Structure 1
Amino acid sequence: MPFALYLLALAVFVMGTSEFMLAGLLPAISADLDVDLGAAGLLTSAFAAGMALGAPLMAAAARRWPARPALLACLSGFAASHVIAALATDFELLLITRVLGAVSNAGFLAIALSAATTMVPANLRGRAVSILLAGTSAAMIAGVPAGTLLGSQLGWRSVFWVIAGLCLPAVLGVLSAVPRPSPAVELSVQNPSGPAPKLAAELAQLLRPQLAGTMVLAALVNGGTFAAFTFISPIVTVTAGMPEGAVPLALVFFGLGSFSGITVAGRLSDRHPLLVLIVGGPLLLAGWIALAALAEHPAALLVLVFTQGFLSFAVGSTLITRVLYAATGAPRMGGSYATMALNVGAALGPVLGGITLSAGFGQLSPVWVAMQLVALGLVIALAAQRLLGLRPRR
């Protein structure tokens, strides 16, 4: 694998820390800005919505830009949004900064995903994606728990300052990783020596049932993950009765599970994607059921947090890889379609989880939301196996 992929993963680590860090900071933000916990969860949904909408818009706008200046511009916008967030004194402004930061993140990830698929042979796209997304899981292992600890000691605003500062080494990583001119936007995946398809042709790929259907499955699985993960803090402290210091520990367990899941899936998603989905999908559903049933027991909760991190990201990253395979007719926009699929779910899950919390259904209601979203995905996958390319046509 090219070393440049690992440097891009460094920047994804910084952005992933920002995307997931609110899971440990929501109670403090809720109290400081005087909003209820369910409403505070909208900060996660706002970020994901900005990612989902920003990915195709930024990818389309940057079609004729070399990748290096495009990636650096995205990092600059991302850093600026976090400086403003650290200074925000009301919830509405903080919400706006999350959307702006997400749009910058979306542009970066969409371009980086496209770059990753052009750095390796076609049959190794799954491994390239897994390396890039490993930056996200590393953020959950180290960045998010560290942010939670920092926020508990110095206040939640300090975490936003640190994220802004971490953009500097991320910039250095991009400068080292992406040469001039970058192949990410200059070459077509299918025909490197020829012109890339026009934007209309790439957008038309979204009408293909295999691409659109796989994006829906990825969104449902990721929606379940974010529905439960966003509100993990009250589950740990209220449902399981563990001290507040146990929240970073739970986040580390989830991060270790997600890293392991992405690593395993990266080895299998190119050659045996159906195996990952057939085995991992039902196990993921069973895991959410078990977590809802056993969350009052701290040891069982931590084991299941690790397990669900593993299964969620193994299944989710495999589906994202399948999105990239299905979007080979959109070499410049394919990365944005994968980003959309991830973040439509990341926006939907916390909204549904927050609604159930605000309606008084209890601390475990987001886990039940996760269960239902994954179950819906399994039903769709079973009903449309050939249409989605999950089973070869005769």
Structure 2
Amino acid sequence: MTDCTTADRSLVDRRIDPAQLSPATILLIEIALAAGGFGIGTGEFVIMGLLPEVATTYQVSVPDAGNVISAYALGVVIGAPIIAALAAKLPRKTLLLLLMGLFAIGNFASAMAPGFLSFTALRFITGLPHGAYFGVAALVAASMAPPHRRVRAVGRVMLGLTIATLIGTPIATFLGQLMSWRAAFFMVAAIGGLTVALIAIYLPKDEVAEGASIRRELSAFGRLQVWLSLAVAAIGFGGMFSIFSYIAKTTTDTAGLPTTMVAVVLALFGIGMNVGNVVGSRMADYSLNGTIGGVLAFNVVLMAIFSLTAHNPIMLCVCVFLTGCGFAACPAVQTRLMDVAADAQTLAAASNHSAFNIANALGAWLGGMVIAAGYGYGATGFVGSVLSALGLVVFLISVALEKRTSRR
């Protein structure tokens, strides 16, 4: 059973009675929610492989075109808490339909954008529903699961995101390179539209929880444990992004592998994410805190080994796969946030994805600084090791304070 002292809190807000749903219906609901994650993951990462085509279309440099990635990430960071708070009085089904509808429209409009400024603005708008969707979808999945299987339910929803890195993004990238980068965003918009249809068909209508309000959701930010959990995500998992952001150059320049091997290394990372998601979800249902702390400690050692052995092609592939496995803690962190937020779960759950986008920016920035200082691409692993260690310290402080409060 979960070792979190507040493990039962996320079970209080059951807006959908799982007793009235068959296992097949619950599975279809989870598939519908995961489809949205698949679309979001594909839309977020496909642009990275199509930047040269976008730059050519709008006659800007590739670095300037990269600003659209930052615009999307900024939309995620800003949109998640704001939407979660403002939508406090909306049924979760209605909110999910609105969020995925906005995502689908945003991607369709992105594909039609006439100029670079409008394209950048549309990527920002499209990023707004990202965090809130995952947060609400996780809450719905957890509310339909028994206490000892909550994290696995959350993991199945997040499986859409991890599968996107392995299948959705490569397919969309290939389509974009074969036809036009605009075709890739039309594809993502279609996935968003399909998700809207699936949620509308399979997810039962739910009632708004009694006492739900913007003020109650904002109370999440008055809880120290919420801030500490967000800090664990924002700091502790920046190392994954420090390595991943520069993995292509590490593969070719440090390990000396041909450019054709970059796709293989990226695939290993994606496979690792999927393995980590499945295994980590099961581990966290037995020990939520143990999984988070264990993965962070594992990453401290692993990422240091990555830097020491990045010149070796075999070790590079092994370490990249295991770095992807670090995603094992993500469903656990999501669930812990839902626990410590008590009756302000929507805002806390959505903010988790803002924290992970901060981790993305922080890891890439610090990794870039180390590379610019002349330490080489392999040194990004040392950055990840330090960030993981800092995240572990924050997590241990969080657990110690939680135990102290529980004793009182």
> Is structure 2 residue 374 aligned with structure 1 residue 350?
no
Deviation at 1:42, TM superposition (A): 4.5
Partner of 1:35: 61
Query: Does 1:375 find its partner at 2:367?
Result: no
Shift in alpha-carbon separation, 1:59–1:383, aligned structure 2, 3 A: closer
Alignment of 1:227-266 (within 5 A): 227-266=242-281
Question: Which sits farther off after the overlay, 344-353 or 44-53?
Answer: 344-353
Q: 1:169 matched to which residue of 2?
A: 194
Going from structure 1 to structure 2, the CA distance change for 1:67 and 1:204 (only over 3 Å counts) comes to closer
Are 1:330 and 2:344 counterparts? Answer: yes
Identity %: 30
Opposite residue 103 of structure 2, the aligned amino acid is: F
Task: Find the counterpart in structure 2 of residue 182 from structure 1.
Answer: 206
The equivalent of 2:42 in structure 1 is: 17
Task: Name the counterpart of 1:192.
Answer: none
Q: Distance in 2 between matches of 1:289 and 1:134?
A: 28
Answer yes or no: is 1:124 the counterpart of 2:139. Answer: no
- What do residues 122-145 of structure 1 show as CA deviations (whole Å, max 9, x unaligned)? 443212211111111111121123
Give the count of matched residue pairs.
382
Cα deviation, residue 27, structure 1 = 5.7
Deviation string 1:73-130 (CA, Å, 9 cap, x unpaired) is 2223212322333344665444322211110223322322222232223443212211
Deviation per residue, 1:296-355 (Å, 9 max, x gap): 3333222211111102x1123322221111112214434223333333323433344455
Identify the residue that residue 226 of structure 2 maps to in structure 1. Answer: 211
Q: Which residue of 2 aligns with 1:106?
A: 131
Distance (whole Å) between structure 1 residues aligned to residue 85 and residue 140 of structure 2: 15
- Amino acid of the structure 1 residue aligned with 2:230: M
Query: Relative to structure 1, is the Cα distance of residues 388 and 137 closer, same or farther in structure 2, using a 3 angstrom cutoff?
Result: farther
Aligned-partner SS, 2:198: helix
Q: Indicate how the Cα distance of structure 1 residues 77 and 354 shifts in structure 2: closer, same or farther if over 3 A, else same.
A: farther
> How far has the Cα of 1:389 moved from its partner?
5.3
| Partners of 1:112 and 1:335 within 8 A in 2 | no
- Counterpart code for 1:328: A
**What secondary structure does 1:269 align onto?**
helix
From the superposition, tell whether residues 333 and 277 of structure 1 become closer, same or farther in structure 2 (CA, over 3 Å): closer
**Residues in 2 aligned to 1:86 and 1:358: alpha-carbon distance in whole angstroms:** 34
What residue is the counterpart of 1:279 in the other structure? 294
Summarize deviations over 1:344-373 as a string: whole Å, max 9, x none: 323433344455556766434544433332
Q: Secondary structure at the match of 1:386?
A: helix
129-138 vs 40-49, which deviates more? 40-49
Q: Does 1:82 align with 2:92?
A: no
The corresponding residue for 2:73 is: 48
Match of 2:87 among 37, 62, 72: 62
User: For residue 182 of structure 1, what is the amino acid of its counterpart?
Assistant: D
Q: Which amino acid aligns with 1:261?
A: G
Q: 1:202 to 1:99 in 2, by over 3 A?
A: same
What amino acid maps onto 1:35 in structure 2?
A: S
Inter-partner Cα distance in structure 1 for 2:176 and 2:311: 26
What is the rounded CA distance, in whole Å, between the counterparts of 2:118 and 2:365 in structure 1? 19
Contact 2:131 2:350 in 1 (8 A): yes
Q: Which amino acid aligns with 1:235?
A: T
Aligned to 2:400, the other structure's residue is in SS state coil
Q: Deviations over 1:277-296 (max 9, x none)?
A: 34322211222222223233
Equivalent AA in structure 1 for residue 196 of structure 2: V
Distance 1:197 1:104, change over 3 A: closer
Structure 1 CA distance, aligned partners of 2:173 and 2:260?
Answer: 9
Distance 1:42 1:64, change over 3 A: same
CA contact (8 A) 2:236 2:389 kept: no
Residues 149 and 329 of structure 1: is their aligned pair in 2 closer, same or farther, counting only changes over 3 Å? same
Q: 1:384 to 1:332 in 2, by over 3 A?
A: closer
In structure 2, the residue matched to 1:191 is none
Q: 1:242/1:158 Cα in 2 relative to 1: closer, same or farther (>3 Å)? A: farther
Does 206-215 or 110-119 show the bigger shift? 110-119
CA distance in 2, matches of 1:63, 1:250: 42
Cα pair distance change 1:144/1:245, threshold 3 Å:
farther
Q: CA deviation at 1:218?
A: 1.4
Q: Contact (CA 8 Å) 2:86, 2:214: kept in 1 or not?
A: no
Deviations 1:254-283 (A, max 9, x none): 111111111112112133123323432221
- Note the C-alpha offset of 1:383: 4.5
Tell me which amino acid in the other structure corresponds to 1:298. P
> Is the Cα contact below 8 Å between 2:85 and 2:217 reproduced in 1?
no
Q: In structure 2, give the amino acid aligned to 1:340.
A: S
